[in-house]
Structure 1
Amino acid sequence: MNVEASPLFDVATPFDLAMQERDAGALFVVNHSGGKDSQAMLIEVLRYVPAAQILVVHATLGEAEWPGALEHAQAQAEAAGCPFVVAQAVKTFFEMVEHRFKVRPGPNSPCWPSASNRQCTSDLKRGPIQREVRRYAKERGLLRIVGCMGLRAAESPRRAKASPWQLNADQSVAGRTWHEWLPIHDLSTPDVLRIVADASQELHPAYAMGNERLSCVFCIMASANDLRNGALHNPELYAKYVEIEKRTGYTMHMSRKSLEELTGVPA
């Protein structure tokens, strides 16, 4: 992480701006999926921000997420002395999919989320997290918030274009300022693994099984490798996804290939 201000025209870096918010007493909200990037991000944020100014939030996806992801995030937060909150949507992932199929069954309205319609992110993660953060901040009279996410430029061209620091205008209301910060945006995967190892922490067990990333067991953008791991280690959940694909006639993956094609694992 770059901790020095840019010498060119004294332009403040995202890190500088984050530290200004820290000194102003802002609440730093670490969004923790249970994955390696979230884990490394919390380690890094704790290097510069007191635990008393940090709230760790996990948006649970219930049975759709890797078993133990919530507990892994919670254990790291509690070990660091940070409060931990679980954000949960009023509907489940499968209820969302089934409802979309019921109300829009036509061939041009897939019931699964897609890269262009990330309803799983907006409805099941971002919305519930913001709700819990607003509640937590209101109870404590906090009017400055910095939302921290573990997105990295190396993950995709889209994420490479993401701004490491920006104002969340939608949530900056009623005297409250809310910024979004990507503390590990410029780090590589080896950097992330080194940070976790240097902190003498273990990754979620799914990585030892061979997973490259961790969130939903069957993500619409997951690699075939991760989908296969998910199928082999979560057979009942896999069968549920395959059944919905066959019943609705829609494939869940952005490749438009069925899970059985991608994994080579029969349900």
Structure 2
Amino acid sequence: MLNNQIALFDVTDFEDEVIEKPDLDSYDYVIVAMSGGKDSLAAVLDLIEAGVPRSKIEMWHHSVDGRGDDANPLFDWPVTESYCEKLAEALGIPIYFSWKQGGLEGEMLREDAYTRPTSFETPDGTFQSGGDSGKKATRRKFPQLAASLSTRWCSAYLKVDPASKAITGQTRFAHKRTLFVTGERAEESSARSKYKTFEPHRTDRRHGRSKRHVDHYRPVHSWEEQQVWDIIERHRINPHPAYKLGWGRLSCMTCIFGSASQWASVKAIDPDRFERIASYEDEFGVTIHRTQSVRERVASAQPYDTLDPELVKVAMSTEYKEPIFVDDWKLPAGAFGESSGPT
């Protein structure tokens, strides 16, 4: 089942051509990186509207806190995994999880050690890759605010790398055409505005021995936020609870890009989790924001006024019990609000 893994940022040479939309009918597999957020949700709904058979589509969710016995809940929303599972079930699409063993917290605490293995689910079971090679290193600090994935290493190690290992670790993708779909939008940041809509994925080996053809497609890259909410409303999909609480972007609950108001809201919702983050800043001697600690940022901010106790219960539960399809669809409080995402 497992083959040799590629370097984290290895990319195949590709013809210098500009393609805005691929021939969707030409792919054997269509994989959507599903965070549970509005943009990845819009991407999968756009594929459905474009006529891609659901039998070809898979959702892949990267569990940033680890999963099962490997879980260290500190960063992500507790309800996210269950929300994604219920969403996939409702849409009739299979979902597979991947994760860095020990999660983001484990990688953050790495000290003179190899990065830990990656586990990934497949139709044939769960497998793992890595953890016994490379260079021993020490982190002992949070990922830092930057567009660069080497500095903002949480995305590289907890999302990009697990997806790559899950592709290269499955022989079912050899001699096949695979489309890997993500939900980045140009409107989100100047860096993301420069992303290509369509390009070879870093795991592409169409000219290699495996003949593994993998393209990377960003179907909502040119969309404005209104278009994203429009397609979600059209399909009557209940948005992730974080949006209803006032968050404008679904990432980790304790995302390093969080605004002062978001950190104040985290403290209001889960003071113990907030204190764990603050204590790590004290221990490392390096803050997330570089110039202010999370305690200092919260001291000058107010939590969102949309933190309804019942919604908080939903967001902080590990089981999503709300309906996925709703007839009384409403734009959530966080729509068009603070995005507080990558630069």
2:56 aligned residue (50, 53, 57): 53
Question: Structure 2 vs 1, CA of residues 133 and 83 (structure 1 numbering), >3 Å: closer, same or farther?
Answer: farther
In structure 1, what is the equivalent of residue 292 of structure 2? 257
Post-superposition Cα deviations, 1:65-117, rounded to whole Å, max 9, x if no partner, equal 11211111222222111110011112321111122599878xxx872212231
In structure 1, what is the equivalent of residue 267 of structure 2? 231
Identity of aligned residues (%): 25
In structure 1, what is the equivalent of residue 233 of structure 2? 197
Matches of 1:259 and 1:170, distance apart in 2: 37
Please give the root-mean-square deviation of Cα atoms over the aligned residues, in Å: 2.5
Paired residues, number: 247
Kindly report which structure 2 residues correspond to 1:117-156, keeping only aligned pairs within 5 A, or say none. 117-135=151-169, 138-139=171-172, 143-156=176-189
Partners of 2:173 and 2:212 within 8 A in 1: no
Post-superposition Cα deviations, 1:181-228, rounded to whole Å, max 9, x if no partner, equal 111011111221121112111111111111111111122222233333
Question: Structure 2 vs 1, CA of residues 82 and 104 (structure 1 numbering), >3 Å: closer, same or farther?
Answer: closer
In structure 2, what is the equivalent of residue 34 of structure 1? 36
| Higher mean C-alpha deviation, range 163-172 or range 148-157 | 163-172
Q: By how many angstroms is 1:147 displaced? A: 1.0
Instruction: Indicate yes or no: 2:200 matched with 1:164.
Output: no
| Higher mean C-alpha deviation, range 152-161 or range 171-180 | 171-180
Q: By how many angstroms is 1:170 displaced? A: 4.1
1:89 aligned residue (93, 100, 115): 100
Question: Structure 2 vs 1, CA of residues 140 and 159 (structure 1 numbering), >3 Å: closer, same or farther?
Answer: closer
1 or 2, which has the higher helix percentage?
1
Query: What TM-score comes out, normalization by structure 1 length?
Result: 0.83
Question: Structure 2 vs 1, CA of residues 152 and 140 (structure 1 numbering), >3 Å: closer, same or farther?
Answer: closer
Question: Structure 2 vs 1, CA of residues 245 and 195 (structure 1 numbering), >3 Å: closer, same or farther?
Answer: same
Question: Structure 2 vs 1, CA of residues 237 and 58 (structure 1 numbering), >3 Å: closer, same or farther?
Answer: same
Query: What TM-score comes out, normalization by structure 2 length?
Result: 0.66
In structure 2, what is the equivalent of residue 14 of structure 1? 20
Question: Structure 2 vs 1, CA of residues 100 and 256 (structure 1 numbering), >3 Å: closer, same or farther?
Answer: farther
Question: Structure 2 vs 1, CA of residues 104 and 130 (structure 1 numbering), >3 Å: closer, same or farther?
Answer: closer
* Runs of 4+ with >3 A deviation: 100-105, 133-136, 139-142
Aligned letter for 1:259? Answer: V
Structure 1: any 5+ residue segments left out of the alignment? 1-10
Instruction: Indicate yes or no: 2:53 matched with 1:23.
Output: no
Q: By how many angstroms is 1:241 displaced? A: 0.5
In structure 2, what is the equivalent of residue 113 of structure 1? 143
Question: Structure 2 vs 1, CA of residues 24 and 50 (structure 1 numbering), >3 Å: closer, same or farther?
Answer: same
Partners of 2:186 and 2:221 within 8 A in 1: yes
| Higher mean C-alpha deviation, range 218-227 or range 157-166 | 218-227
Matches of 1:239 and 1:56, distance apart in 2: 33
Matches of 1:262 and 1:142, distance apart in 2: 52
Q: Provide the secondary structure at the position in 1 that maps to 2:36.
A: coil
In structure 2, what is the equivalent of residue 4 of structure 1? none
Aligned letter for 1:211? Answer: W
Post-superposition Cα deviations, 1:147-185, rounded to whole Å, max 9, x if no partner, equal 111101111000011111111244324201111111101
Aligned letter for 1:153? Answer: A
| Higher mean C-alpha deviation, range 62-71 or range 237-246 | 62-71
Structure 2: any 5+ residue segments left out of the alignment? 1-16, 66-72, 114-135, 303-343
Post-superposition Cα deviations, 1:29-58, rounded to whole Å, max 9, x if no partner, equal 100111111111111111121111111000
Partners of 2:36 and 2:83 within 8 A in 1: yes
Question: Structure 2 vs 1, CA of residues 182 and 140 (structure 1 numbering), >3 Å: closer, same or farther?
Answer: closer
Partners of 1:212 and 1:226 within 8 A in 2: no
Matches of 1:153 and 1:101, distance apart in 2: 38
Aligned letter for 2:32? Answer: V
